[in-house]
Amino acid sequence: MTAYVLRRLLLLPVVLWAVSLVVFVLMRVVPGDPTVSILGEKAKEADRKALRERMGLDKPLPVQYAIYLGKLLQGDLGRPYKAAGDTVAQEIRRRLPPTIELTLAAMAIAVLGGLALGIFSAVYKNTWVDYLSMSVALAGVSVPIFWLGLLLILAFGRFLPIGGNLGVEFFLEPRTGFVILDAALAGEGEMFRDALLHLLMPAVALATIPLAMTARITRASMLEVLGSDYIRTARAKGAAPWRVITRHALRNALIPIVTLVGLEFGYLLGGAVLTETVFDWPGMGTYILHSVQNTEHESIGGAVLVLSSTFVVVNLAVDLLYAFIDPRVRYGHA
């Protein structure tokens, strides 16, 4: 087991190197260059050329990549070209907690809601409960996030704050960077409530697709388990109906669901980019969007590397989780 974890962790740098290469190449093959956003559309070609030289953008691509990789190896994610002040690492440190906050909230909604819908559908198979749940699930997987986000704003914007993660007139000094946690730590009840209200719409928008997917997988998995012999035995023994479902059936039905939830985490990180844009959530998503708009190579590279590492580590955690859920799973054996 330890050997397996170590092996997986050792693979992480290789994955990150590949990611850095792909992002580097992609950014360079896209037409345009950063000097346009730094000096503006009105700048003269001569000024842009001089800046390109100063920034080393005139060097051959392999040389530029070697320089970039050299800095990465020293743990330096670089500096934004246009935005003054902070380094990419400092910016990411500020942006990651809000994204994790949003992702976890969406994950909680998706898993709890999806499990509930899926279980109800399976238990009340082919009844109106099933049809309704699965219709919700089908709608959920089909709706694009940005559209759903706008609909939510139109429908609930009157009752809930629109955009951002805290009212602009609240001043909260970041301790952990997680606004809800910081408000709680500061003992600011009103801010805590405001932060929670700000989280609702974006979290629901982001949760919709994974919720729908979880519901569908849960239903299928539960139906399979509910038809097995040991369930019939449990029922025959006189176990309470819901106890059979939650204790006997659900635990065995969880394996494919956990796999899906692990994969969904990656989806949620990607989906956060769109959700954050619609709701002006100050996380990695808006950071990536602005960096792409401003051709900020190093910011995009840094953000993608950090998100990729998160994804890889979460996937590893999910793999390890199997062992706890399903005692048959063993790692590291030939």
Partner 1 sequence: MTWKALLLAAAALAGAAPAQAGKALIWARGADSTTMDPAEVEWGEDAKITQNVFEPLVSFRHDSVELEGRLATAWTVSADGMSMTVDLRDGVTFHDGTPFNAEAVVFTFNRLTDAKHPQRPRVAPYASNFSDLSKVEAVGPRRVLFTLKTSSAVFLHNLTLFGACIVSPEAVKKHGEKFALNPSGTGPYRLARWDRDVRIVLDRFDGYWGPKPAVGRVIVVPVNSPQTAIEKLKKGEVHVVDHPTLADAKPLQEHAATKMDFETSMNVCYLGFNLKKAPYNNPDFRRAVSLAIDRKALNAVAYYDLAEPASNVVPPAIWRDTAPTPAYEYDPAKARELLARAGLASHKVELIHMTFSRPYVPEPQRVAETIKDQLEKIGLEVRLTGYDKAAYTLKTREESHPMYLQGWSADLPVPDNFLYPLLHGDNAGDLNGSFFNDAEFNAAVKAAQSERDPGKARSLYTKAYERYRAELPTIPLVHVKQLIALSKRVDYNMHPIEYRFFIATLRE
Where on the chain is the footprint of partner 1 (CB under 8 A)?
30-34, 36-45, 47, 51, 82-86, 91, 94, 150, 153-154, 157-164, 167-169, 171, 193-194, 196-197, 200, 277-280, 282, 286-287, 289-290, 293-295
Q: How far is the CB of 269 from partner 1 (least distance, A)?
A: 18
Q: How far is the CB of 176 from partner 1 (least distance, A)?
A: 16
Nearer to partner 1, 128 or 171 (CB): 171
Q: Do the beta carbons of residue 160 and residue 197 sit within 8 Å?
A: yes
Tell me whether residue 323 is exposed, middle or buried, using C-beta atoms within 10 angstroms of its C-beta: 0 to 12, 13 to 18, 19 or more.
middle
Nearer to partner 1, 194 or 264 (CB): 194
Nearer to partner 1, 83 or 184 (CB): 83
In 3D space, the residue among 167, 163, 165 whose CA is nearest the CA of residue 177 turns out to be 165
Nearer to partner 1, 44 or 328 (CB): 44
Q: How far is the CB of 93 from partner 1 (least distance, A)?
A: 12
Nearer to partner 1, 150 or 223 (CB): 150
Q: How far is the CB of 40 from partner 1 (least distance, A)?
A: 4
Report how far residue 200's alpha carbon sits from residue 216's, in angstroms, rounded to the nearest whole number: 23
Q: For residue 235, give Cα distances in angstroms to 186, 200, 227, 230, 238.
A: 51, 40, 12, 9, 5
Q: Do the beta carbons of residue 299 and residue 283 sit within 8 Å?
A: no
Q: How far is the CB of 79 from partner 1 (least distance, A)?
A: 10
Report how far residue 275's alpha carbon sits from residue 202's, in angstroms, rounded to the nearest whole number: 6
